[in-house]
């Protein structure tokens, strides 16, 4: 089945092997996992389960780490609405990397991007969501020393001079080829990728020396960093490394959980009841049509969205395996599997929501001052 992955649209049944070839990235293999494990101890379950599956230049980054060089993490969010569980996947992994390797994170909120790309979103709304989304990152437990937040329209003084250095090296024909722009595209969109390159330069600018950067993200953002990796060495910076995750699927239908289809996404601001109702009503089930048939033939965890979500949110490998076994054998029904997921998500979200409310008055401490 055909699928499409661009920074603005993901649809169909994504074939991640094909995507590695199409985008020209590298698969995360056992040798790389062993190298990471040498430094991290036990691997994060996103790595153990290959939910992060692809990368650019991770071996180079580990070389730099082994040489004792300081490095930094960079990730981001296009604030078009509230944060959903899909966005949290690269962010939770980034938090683990920051803790494990003792490195800071630069977090970009691209209110300019979402204003330019979303027909009906005002700049004020996008900026408001930037402030809301920032709370979710802070709620993951970062200290202000480790997390530096950049909001494009508010950090323009720092970012714009760097963005035009990048922009000068990118031709219209490159952006057309990479992003599929046409004559109808507004010129802000054409310029935008220069802004997404800048936080990969900021750690070096602030330190006054070259600082390697690793960018964790879902694979849809890779086109931006393909361009950035091409340009940065031309203007005196190292190519950023990157590490890519699969998409947390939408509750039903193919593709990724997407903020623009609200009933197929679970937001960090959803109430326990909303989570329960959405999972019960919409989560695509790999169960059988009748209880009798299910008991006899068992369910299919590999197409069951609730089970897929548990591969992200249930860290305990043994527990996950026992759920898989029970579901496959028919001992566990779809409704029971959904109940496990609902409990897991709501337990996480109650705590997360408390922390994100506390973050509201502390946001200022996290905004990059430069
Ligand atoms: P945005 O806001 O679309 O997405 C934010 C981050 O979440 C990832 N993502 C997902 N990951 C797993 N499952 C999903 N269903 C899912 N949906 C989205 C995205 O890949 C991204 O990592 N232009 C960017 C903002 C940005 C950025 C960055 C992202 C600026 N600088 C650096 C990553 C790294 C955007 O609109 O992301």
Pairwise CA distance, residues 255 & 267, whole Å: 17
Find out whether the beta carbon of 77 lies less than 6 Å from any atom of ligand 1.
Answer: yes
Which domains are delineated in the chain? 4-252 (3.40.50.620), 270-357 (1.10.240.10)
CA distance linking residue 232 with residue 168, whole number of Å: 11
Backbone angles phi, psi at 274, to 5 degrees: -60, -40
Burial (Cβ within 10 Å: 0-12, 13-18, ≥19) of residue 284: middle
CA distance 312 to 46: 7
pLDDT at 312: 98
- Alpha-helical runs (H) found in the chain: 16-23, 30-40, 45-48, 58-66, 85-101, 111-117, 123-139, 156-167, 172-179, 187-197, 202-207, 222-231, 272-282, 291-297, 305-313, 317-329, 334-359, 363-366
- Give, using CA atoms, the residue closest to atom 36 of ligand 1: 78
Query: What is the enclosing helix (H) or strand (E) of 44?
Result: none
Q: Is the CB of 82 under 6 A from ligand 1?
A: no
Instruction: Extract the tokens encoding 218.
Output: 């879902």
Q: Whose CA is nearest to atom 35 of ligand 1?
A: 78
At 2 the pLDDT is 85
| Alpha carbon separation from 33 to 55, 62, 72, 290 (Å, rounded) | 12, 11, 20, 42
Measuring CA to CA, which residue among 82, 17, 24 is closest to residue 230? Answer: 24
213, containing H or E segment? strand 213-218
- Nearest residue (CA) to ligand 1, atom 7: 87
Q: Kind of pairing, strands 10-11 and 4-5?
A: antiparallel
- Binding site membership of 78 for ligand 1 (Cβ less than 6 Å): yes
Please, what's the b/e burial string for 182-191 (b: 16 or more CB within 10 A of its CB; e: otherwise)? eeebeeeebb
Helix 272-282 vs helix 334-359: crossing angle, to nearest 10: 150
Q: pTM here?
A: 0.97
**Atom 28 of ligand 1, nearest CA residue:** 76
Alpha carbon distance 298, 334 (integer Å): 10
Q: Please work out whether the CB of residue 196 comes within 6 Å of at least one atom of ligand 1.
A: yes
Is 199:106 a contact under the CB 8 Å cutoff?
yes
How far is residue 287 CA from its own chain's centroid? 29
108 lines ligand 1 (CB under 6 A): yes
Per-residue pLDDT, 306 = 97
Tell me how long the chain is. Answer: 370
Whether 86 is in the pocket of ligand 1, judged by its Cβ within 6 Å, is yes
Determine contact, residues 87/77, Cβ cutoff 8 Å.
Answer: yes
Q: Give the whole-angstrom CA distance, residue 106 versus residue 347.
A: 28
pLDDT in tens, the chain (370 residues): 689 999 999 988 899 999 999 999 999 999 999 999 999 999 999 999 999 999 999 999 999 999 999 999 999 999 999 999 999 999 999 999 999 999 999 999 999 999 999 999 999 999 999 999 999 999 999 999 999 999 999 999 999 999 999 999 999 999 999 999 999 999 999 999 999 999 999 999 999 999 999 999 999 999 999 999 999 999 999 999 999 999 999 998 667 877 777 788 999 999 999 999 999 999 999 999 999 999 999 999 999 999 999 999 999 999 999 999 999 999 999 999 999 999 999 999 999 999 999 999 999 999 999 8
């Amino acid at each position: 089945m055909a699928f499409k992955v661009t920074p603005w649209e993901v649809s169909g049944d994504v074939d991640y092997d094909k995507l590695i070839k199409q985008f020209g990235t590298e698969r995360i293999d056992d040798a790389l996992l062993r190298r990471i494990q040498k430094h991290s101890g036990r691997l994060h379950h996103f790595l153990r389960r290959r939910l992060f599956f692809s990368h650019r230049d991770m071996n180079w980054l580990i070389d730099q780490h082994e040489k004792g060089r300081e490095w930094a993490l960079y990730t981001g969010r296009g604030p078009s609405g509230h944060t959903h569980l899909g966005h949290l996947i690269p962010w939770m992994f980034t938090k683990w990397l920051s803790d494990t390797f003792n490195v800071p994170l630069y977090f970009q909120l691209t209110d300019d991007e979402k204003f330019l790309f979303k027909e009906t979103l005002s700049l004020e709304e996008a900026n408001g969501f930037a402030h809301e989304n920032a709370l979710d990152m802070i709620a993951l437990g970062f200290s202000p020393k480790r997390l530096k937040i950049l909001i494009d329209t508010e950090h323009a003084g720092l970012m714009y001079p760097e963005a035009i250095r990048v922009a000068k090296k990118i031709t219209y024909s490159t952006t057309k080829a990479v992003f599929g722009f046409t004559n109808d595209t507004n010129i802000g969109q054409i310029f935008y990728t220069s802004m997404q390159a800048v936080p990969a330069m900021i750690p070096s600018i602030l330190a006054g020396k070259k600082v390697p950067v690793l960018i964790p993200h879902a694979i849809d953002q890779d086109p931006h960093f393909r361009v950035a990796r091409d340009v940065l060495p031309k203007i005196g910076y190292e190519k950023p490394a990157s590490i890519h995750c699969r998409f947390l699927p939408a509750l039903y239908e193919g593709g990724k959980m997407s903020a623009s289809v609200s009933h197929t996404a679970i937001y960090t601001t959803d109430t326990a009841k909303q989570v329960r109702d959405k999972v019960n009503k919409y989560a695509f089930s790999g169960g059988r049509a009748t209880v009798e048939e299910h008991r006899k033939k068992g369910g299919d965890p590999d197409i069951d969205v609730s089970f897929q979500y548990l591969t992200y949110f249930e860290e305990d490998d043994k527990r996950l395996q026992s759920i898989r076994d029970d579901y496959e054998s028919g001992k566990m029904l779809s409704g029971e599997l959904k109940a496990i997921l609902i409990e897991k998500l709501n337990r996480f979200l109650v705590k997360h929501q408390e922390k994100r409310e506390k973050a509201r008055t502390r946001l200022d401490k996290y905004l990059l001052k430069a």
